[in-house]
């Protein structure tokens, strides 16, 4: 039971009370269920208060204000390095509950009736996340150890809170997603998720496809590899990635190495099973290949590029070489023979494979001939999606997208940024290109760390695109929003409804005056600081999104009359705005007759 008086007093500089208000708060929370007594799990024999090897530990009496922080002072803790059994916490609830999770660190959770675990946790102490709202009849809670590229990893969970919802509250929550009327294509990269997981059977793929179903996407664009590199599907044309690989930096680890991805290929058929599960879940899946990079000199490089270095330009295979195109088309033919619903090619992030418009046109003409043969057999059109550099982006002059649409070679045009540049490109040239054709324009929005953060920056760009009457969007690295994060997955479900996006901004404007005033900046992607290929974006809350100024070391760099706000510019010239080393960034935004100001210490990484 809660029965308190909440008092707010605003004092002037002289200590005089300018305003005071008291509110009485009374609430009956007796129907809220808090799971934090881990002695009650069914597998009690695997839980103790000792940090003994091979078991879970219940940590009690942890300080709430000092590391390792624990909400309520109690935590379920699993040490890394050793496989731990799953734990089941018994429940006996009826009806729909909102499920909140507090985990300083990470844990994987599901209900006993679920097909999928969600990884939940936070780097912020006492941060409570809304996991889901679910019908809880006949459900128990299951806790599973987290997993990293090195194997079983440290797992911690403070508590799970279940709050009962009325039917009216459930209807209000569901109404926020609106009625789907836009196309949302989302990238899926099984390589990246197998990198930090223990793939033992084909149902690993179903878990992730189920997350895409929950997000309500139109097409899953599954990347199976890059041309000239080893692939992550059951190919007999190219060599599979069966053993060790290395990845992008993870924290301070510059070159993480794992055999996890190889295990996925040893035990499962990536494309065949993903297609099977997509059909069962009502999803459409395209077979996606990247035009480069071959990753020369690394465990990822394939035999084809090793045997033919003369057919490479830099790190990519040269599409103007007929033998290269024959090899590429053989991979597409194999994917279509396995059953791919459609095909996709990604000329970003490495567009160097194309040397001219004519080369790209020859390739798409040949690709259309191939997919039409399969389309004739199936009695339907096999669709082709192309992601390519937008105007101003590196090598954009080599891509004759208007011809692709006019000739019917491509069904979906996805102009795109590369890394942190050109997130706000103009869509009008592409709208002109598809006018009068059957080709559909799906401008890309980047969901990676150098992209537009959800919800604010991403939803702002999305609203502008829908105002411009585009038919939908392509989310590059959309798995970052869908695969593991329930909160951002719910936003993706909103993206398919123009009305839901419109109502999001109506609510944002309505609530703006009630929110705390703040100026926020995006954080750098990798240590030690912001690199030239990314951009520092600014967001404001509680004040109108109007006039804003950005100063670097006391010098005015940018003045804006409205968003988007970023340090420097979108183009390559913006790479040099932030020199290497420490700097003072000062941002001020117009707030009535004055200015709201905030100063940050930032680091340029060059």
- CATH code of the domain containing 525: 2.60.40.10
Query: Does residue 254 share a domain with residue 163?
Result: no
Give a yes or no: residue 18 inside a domain: no
Give a yes or no: residue 368 inside a domain: yes
- pLDDT tens, position by position, 356-367: 999 999 999 999
Give a yes or no: residue 24 inside a domain: no
Q: What is the pLDDT of residue 256?
A: 86
Please tell me the distance from the alpha carbon of residue 435 to that of residue 441, in angstroms, as a whole number: 10
Domain of 399, CATH number, reads 3.20.20.80
Q: Closest Cα to residue 460, out of 421, 505, 521?
A: 505
Give a yes or no: residue 489 inside a domain: yes
> Who has greater pLDDT, 567 or 73?
567
Query: Does residue 158 share a domain with residue 270?
Result: no
Please tell me the distance from the alpha carbon of residue 269 to that of residue 1, in angstroms, as a whole number: 53
Give a yes or no: residue 16 inside a domain: no
- pLDDT tens, position by position, 345-384: 999 989 999 999 999 999 999 999 999 999 999 999 999 9
Query: Does residue 348 share a domain with residue 394?
Result: yes
Domain boundary among 475, 508, 541: 508
Q: What is the pLDDT of residue 526?
A: 85
Res. 53 pLDDT band, cuts 50 70 90: low
Please give the distance of CA 80 from its chain centroid, rounded to a whole number.
26
Domain boundary among 508, 531, 559: 508
Instruction: Provide DSSP, 243-285.
Output: S-EE-S-BTTBSS-EESHHHHHHHH--HHHHHHHHHHHHT-EE
- Beta-ladder partners of 348: none
Domain that holds residue 538: 515-604
pLDDT of residue 54 exceeding 90, the answer is no
Arithmetic mean of pLDDT, 26-48: 94
Give a yes or no: residue 432 inside a domain: yes
Query: Does residue 553 share a domain with residue 465?
Result: no
Burial class (CB in 10 A: 0-12, 13-18, 19+), 18: exposed
Domain of 129, CATH number, reads 2.60.120.260
Res. 251 pLDDT band, cuts 50 70 90: low
Helix or strand (DSSP H, E) at 418: none
Burial class (CB in 10 A: 0-12, 13-18, 19+), 515: exposed
Domain boundary among 473, 493, 508: 508
Query: Does residue 222 share a domain with residue 126?
Result: no
Give a yes or no: residue 25 inside a domain: no
Q: What is the pLDDT of residue 301?
A: 96
pLDDT of residue 469 exceeding 90, the answer is yes
Please tell me the distance from the alpha carbon of residue 172 to that of residue 188, in angstroms, as a whole number: 30
What letter would DSSP give residue 524?
A: P
3-state SS assignment for residue 360: helix
- Beta-carbon count within 10 A of 253 CB: 12
CA angle 195–479–469, rounded 5-degree value:
160
Query: Does residue 448 share a domain with residue 317?
Result: yes
Query: Does residue 561 share a domain with residue 544?
Result: yes
Residue with tokens 């899946």: 285
Res. 125 pLDDT band, cuts 50 70 90: very high
The percent of residues in the chain predicted with pLDDT above 70, rounded, is 99
Provide CB contacts within 8 A for 308, sequence distance 6+: 323, 324
Please tell me the distance from the alpha carbon of residue 529 to that of residue 523, in angstroms, as a whole number: 8
pLDDT of residue 424 exceeding 70, the answer is yes
Query: Does residue 417 share a domain with residue 299?
Result: yes
The mean of the pLDDT values for the chain is 95
pLDDT of residue 252 exceeding 70, the answer is no
Task: Please count the structural domains in the chain.
Answer: 3
The percent of residues in the chain predicted with pLDDT above 90, rounded, is 91
Query: Does residue 439 share a domain with residue 323?
Result: yes
Query: Does residue 499 share a domain with residue 534?
Result: no
How many CA atoms within 13 Å lie on the side-chain side of 559? 3
Q: What is the pLDDT of residue 246?
A: 83
Arithmetic mean of pLDDT, 504-518: 92
3-state SS assignment for residue 96: strand
Arithmetic mean of pLDDT, 407-416: 98
pLDDT of residue 51 exceeding 80, the answer is no
Number of H helices, E strands in the chain: 14, 36
Give a yes or no: residue 6 inside a domain: no
Query: Does residue 530 share a domain with residue 428?
Result: no
Query: Does residue 534 share a domain with residue 594?
Result: yes
């Amino acid at each position: 039971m809660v029965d308190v008086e909440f008092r707010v007093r605003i004092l002037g500089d002289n200590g005089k009370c300018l305003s005071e208000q008291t509110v009485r708060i009374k609430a009956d929370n007796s129907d809220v269920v808090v799971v934090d007594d881990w002695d009650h799990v069914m597998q009690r024999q695997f839980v103790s208060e000792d940090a003994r090897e091979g078991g879970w530990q219940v940590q009690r009496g942890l300080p709430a204000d000092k590391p390792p922080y624990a909400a309520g002072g109690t935590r379920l803790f699993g040490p890394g390095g050793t496989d731990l059994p799953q734990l089941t916490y018994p429940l006996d609830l009826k009806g729909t509950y909102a499920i909140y999770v507090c985990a300083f660190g990470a844990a994987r959770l599901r209900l006993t009736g679920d097909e999928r675990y969600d990884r939940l946790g936070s780097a912020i102490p006492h941060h409570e996340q809304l996991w889901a709202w679910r019908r809880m009849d006949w459900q128990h809670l299951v806790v599973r150890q987290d997993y990293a590229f090195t194997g079983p990893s440290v797992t911690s969970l403070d508590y799970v809170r279940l709050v009962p919802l009325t039917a009216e509250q459930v209807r209000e929550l569901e109404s926020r997603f609106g009625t789907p009327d836009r196309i949302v294509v989302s990238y899926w990269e099984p390589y990246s998720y197998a990198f930090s997981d223990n793939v033992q059977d084909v149902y690993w793929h179903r878990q992730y496809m189920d997350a895409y179903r929950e997000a309500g996407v139109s097409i899953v664009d599954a990347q199976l590899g890059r041309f000239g590199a080893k692939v992550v599907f059951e190919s007999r044309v190219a060599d599979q990635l069966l053993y060790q690989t290395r990845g992008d930096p993870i924290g301070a680890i510059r070159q993480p190495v794992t055999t996890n991805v190889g295990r996925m290929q040893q035990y499962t058929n990536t494309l065949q099973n993903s297609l099977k599960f997509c059909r069962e879940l009502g999803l459409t899946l395209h077979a996606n290949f990247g035009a480069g990079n071959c990753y020369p000199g690394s465990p990822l490089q394939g035999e084809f590029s090793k045997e033919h270095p003369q057919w490479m330009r830099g790190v990519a295979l040269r599409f103007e070489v007929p033998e290269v195109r024959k090899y590429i088309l053989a991979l597409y033919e194999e994917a279509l023979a396995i059953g791919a619903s459609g095909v996709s090619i990604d000329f970003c992030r490495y567009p160097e494979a194309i040397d001219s418009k004519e080369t790209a046109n020859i390739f798409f003409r040949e690709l259309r001939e191939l997919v039409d043969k399969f389309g004739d057999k199936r009695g339907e059109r096999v669709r082709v999606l192309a992601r390519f550099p937008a105007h101003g982006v590196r090598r954009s002059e080599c891509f004759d997208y208007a011809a692709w649409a006019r000739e019917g070679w491509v069904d979906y045009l996805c102009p795109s940024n590369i890394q942190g540049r050109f997130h706000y490109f103009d869509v009008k040239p592409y709208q002109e290109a598809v006018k009068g054709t059957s080709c559909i324009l799906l401008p890309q929005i980047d969901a990676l760390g150098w992209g537009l953060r959800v919800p604010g920056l991403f939803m702002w760009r999305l609203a502008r695109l829908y105002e411009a009457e585009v038919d939908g969007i392509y989310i590059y690295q959309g798995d970052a929003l869908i695969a593991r994060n329930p909160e951002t997955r719910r936003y993706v479900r909103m993206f398919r409804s123009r009305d839901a996006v419109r109502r999001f901004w109506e609510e944002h404007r309505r609530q703006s005056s009630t929110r705390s005033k703040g100026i926020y900046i995006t954080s750098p992607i990798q240590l030690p600081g912001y690199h030239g290929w990314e951009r520092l974006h600014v967001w404001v809350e509680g004040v109108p999104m109007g006039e804003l100024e950005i100063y670097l070391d006391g010098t005015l760099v940018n003045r804006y009359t409205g968003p988007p706000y970023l340090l420097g510019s979108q183009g390559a010239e913006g790479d040099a705005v932030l020199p290497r080393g420490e700097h003072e960034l000062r941002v001020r935004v117009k707030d009535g007759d004055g200015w709201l100001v905030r100063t940050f210490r930032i680091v340029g990484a060059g």
